[in-house]
Amino acid sequence: MRNMKLSVICVAYKKYSEIQVLINCFESQTRGNWELVIIHDGYDDMFERTVRPYCWADPHRVKLHYSDERHNDWGHTNRDAGIDIVTGNWTLQTNDDNYYVPVFVEEVLDYAEACSNVNMIGWDMIHNYKEFGPYKFVDTNLSITGPTEMGAFACSTDMAREVRFAHRDRGADQGYIKDLIGTGRAVVGKVDKILFVHN
């Protein structure tokens, strides 16, 4: 089924340089079946001036939204709102300072098409983050007890809409995974390649 599309929900807050890296990494993908839904936490004029030109240049794939107010909850309220906006078969939750390699969409959608029974797909990542040390490899483990980052997996959009993004604390990544797996219907697959840099 070659018409699958990956929807990326990116929550954002005033990272004017970093968001351009994220947008450009998707514009550089080897497979074009994606959409990037950026939701900024409240309106910001500088963010509008930075991101809106990308939307004008690629209006069907790069979309910019603002929450009505600033929630200041690590973007989690906006993650949940994004689930209602996306139009793809698969949904990825990420942040405005992350990076995905140019073959990312191709690898994930090729896997999804080859393994039509899966509804969650993970991939390996590199942490470039002060709490973990620079460039630390993480073997993604999509289980209730396995450590991961929500930018290191996607789930079917139907599943995301069923579960929603209910958590608002700093541990929401793991809570979201637990909720997805807790449905009892999760069929997990994995692309055994490093496709993501968590900044």
Domain range for 156: 6-198
Q: What is the pLDDT of residue 116?
A: 93
- Asked if the structure places residue 1 within a domain, the reply is no
CATH number of the domain residue 190 falls in:
3.90.550.10
- Asked if the structure places residue 179 within a domain, the reply is yes
- Asked if the structure places residue 41 within a domain, the reply is yes
The residue with tokens 């793809």 is 88
How do strand 133-138 and strand 188-198 relate by DSSP bridges? unpaired
Provide the CB-side half-sphere exposure for 117 (13 A, CA). Answer: 3
- Asked if the structure places residue 131 within a domain, the reply is yes
Please list the rounded mean pLDDT of every run of 10 residues in the chain (199 residues): 89 98 98 98 98 98 98 96 98 97 98 95 82 56 62 95 93 87 91 91
Please state whether the predicted TM-score (pTM) of the whole model is above 0.75: yes
Q: What is the pLDDT of residue 3?
A: 85
Q: How many domains does the chain have?
A: 1
